Copies of this chain bind each other. A is one copy, B any other.
């Protein structure tokens, strides 16, 4: 194995670049801007240029590279074909081939960003020491990643781990971003927490709570007031916990992981979130999986960069 590798996490506004040796030691990280104009045609050339520059700074060449791992915000089919990244303006792109040709044939591999972040957390974060990890990412939406035997489970259509779109409620009238009604994302994401709080405020006009009148009302507000003992906020968090806990019980009936890692912005609420989720997880889970550990993610925004390079180190 050659001595160095890069892990790259492409987001809609910035691209996170990580430089590692192939022992897995982190060496350096930095960010570049995601230039989405002209259908994102500059994204891969910008990454290639940034990699070459970093190598030159370190008096290295492309020959010193084992490979470059990339996480992208969209579905990745087998063979590394990316099938539309709306946030980047990309249509169908063969990222492996295009980036490799910009880097004189260096090995490139690509994964979906949520899956790659899950691999990062499994390797070096909340799931460290475990081969089989389910990661649940609670951000603007609800994402997920399934790691089996230390590898990403991508799925037949790049849709493994799309747990935000499990239909968990029958009588929902609001429409999810995916077009369905009753998706987990409508309750368990930051947006979902805010939505549930507003619904509860409207449904209980007489209820007194410090949440009333907040503009904007954020998911963090709901968790913060719940921590101070506000019953109204606690009740919203209880609903969030039920939706997430029972959905995670479904997931463990399917893959029975060693550990469940909860990440994303909402997870910064910490123990109060885990407690609400586990309250509903345990009675819904199959008995063999009832005591599976829940952990908080620890790598934050670096998870994707770690997971991306791990795809190279563990190929």
A254 touches B256 (CB 8 A): no
In the complex the two chains form, is B249's CB within 8 Å of A163's CB?
no
Residue A132 interfacial (CB < 8 Å):
yes
Chain B residue numbers with a CB within 8 Å of A159 are 252-253, 256, 286, 288-289
Q: Is B251 a contact of A254 with CB atoms below 8 Å?
A: yes
Besides A157-B288, A167-B246, 4 new A-B residue pairs in contact (Cβ under 8 A), listed by A number: A155-B288, A157-B256, A159-B288, A180-B284
Q: Which of B132, B252, B255, B288 contacts A255 (CB 8 A)?
A: B255
Cα-based distance from A166 to B281 in the complex (angstroms) = 11
Q: Is the CB of B179 within 8 A of A257?
A: no
- Whether, in the assembled complex, A153 has its beta carbon less than 8 Å from a beta carbon of chain B, the answer is yes
In the complex, the answer to whether A257 meets B155 with C-beta atoms within 8 Å is: yes
Inter-subunit contact B258/A156 (CB<8 Å): yes
Q: Is A21 an interface residue (CB 8 A)?
A: no
Interface assignment of A269: CB less than 8 Å from any CB of chain B: no
Residue A295 interfacial (CB < 8 Å): no
Encoded as 1 (CB less than 8 Å from any B CB) or 0, chain A from 143 to 181 comes to 010101000011111111111011100000000001110
In the bound complex, CA of A156 to CA of B259 (Å): 9
Contacts of A179 in B (CB 8 A): 287
How many residues of A sit at the interface, in one of the four size bands? 35 or more
For residue A172, give the distance in angstroms from its CB to the closest CB of chain B.
12
Q: A179-B287, A283-B180, A286-B162 are in contact. Are A249 and B167 (CB under 8 A)?
A: yes
Binding site for B on A (CB under 8 A): 75, 132, 144, 146, 148, 153-163, 165-167, 178-180, 246-247, 249-258, 283-284, 286-289, 292
Q: Which 3 A-B pairs have the closest CB atoms?
A: A155-B256, A159-B288, A157-B288
**Complex contact B287–A254 (CB within 8 A):** no
Q: Please, how many angstroms separate the alpha-carbon atoms of A249 and B167 in the complex?
A: 8
Contact B284 A167, beta carbon cutoff 8 Å:
yes
A156 surroundings in chain B (CB, below 8 A): 132, 256-258, 289, 292
**Which residues of B are found within 8 Å of A146, using beta-carbon distances?**
254-255
What CA separation (Å) do A292 and B158 show in the bound complex?
Answer: 12
Closest to A287 in B: B178
Contact call A153/B161, Cβ cutoff below 8 A: no
Contact (Cβ within 8 A) B253 A162: yes
Residue of B nearest to A155 (CB): B256
Which B residues lie within 8 Å of A253 (CB)?
Answer: 159, 162-163, 165-166
Measured CB to CB, the nearest residue on chain B to A257 is B156
21 pairs, A vs B, C-beta closer than 8 Å: A75-B288, A132-B155, A146-B254, A153-B255, A155-B257, A155-B289, A156-B256, A158-B288, A159-B286, A160-B254, A160-B256, A161-B254, A163-B254, A165-B253, A165-B286, A166-B249, A166-B250, A178-B286, A251-B254, A254-B254, A255-B255
In the bound complex, residues from chain B placing their C-beta under 8 Å from that of A161 are 254, 256
CB neighbours of A284 from chain B (8 A): 167, 180
